Amino acid sequence: MPVLINSDNKLGTTTSSKRFKQDTKPIDKASEALLAFKPVTFRYKREVDPAGTSQFGLVAEDVAKINPDLMVSDKDGKPYSVRYDQVNAIAQRVPEGTPQNAGTRSDDRASPEAN
């Protein structure tokens, strides 16, 4: 089980039991939300990845326009990362045969501000 850092900078793990959740609702039109994402190819800036490895994934600012709950902000409130674990949870609900070109990533590096 991966260890994560929450928005209060505390270590923890992802829990899934209903005893830890409130206000649960079904995700309506999950495939529409997924298909609205615009996956991109990119290279991190040199200070993040000196090797310049080609990556693919989503841009946090673009994700926030579709669903702000799937974007993580830094301590100053600026877009920082995408909650790929949540994007993948939505992707699992998309029926087979629906085009799925989002919600995947080749790498999720801990990085300084990537702007």
Digit-coded pLDDT (tens) for 72-86: 998 899 999 999 888
Please list, in sequence order, all residues whose beta carbon lies within 8 angstroms of the beta carbon of residue 57, skipping any fewer than 6 positions away: 39, 40, 42, 82, 84, 104, 105, 106, 107, 108
Block residue for tokens 């996956």: 39
Provide the pLDDT for residue 78.
92
**Which pLDDT score, from 0 to 100, does residue 16 have?**
64
Reported confidence tier of residue 91, pLDDT bands at 50, 70, 90: confident
For residue 8, the 8-state DSSP code is T
More confident residue, 58 or 108: 58
CA distances from 63 to 13, 39, 57, 73, 105 (A): 23, 10, 11, 12, 14
CB atoms within 10 A of CB 108: 12
Rounded to 5 degrees, what are φ and ψ at 62? -70, -40
pLDDT tens digits, one per residue of 3-49: 777 667 778 776 667 787 788 776 666 667 777 888 899 999 988 88
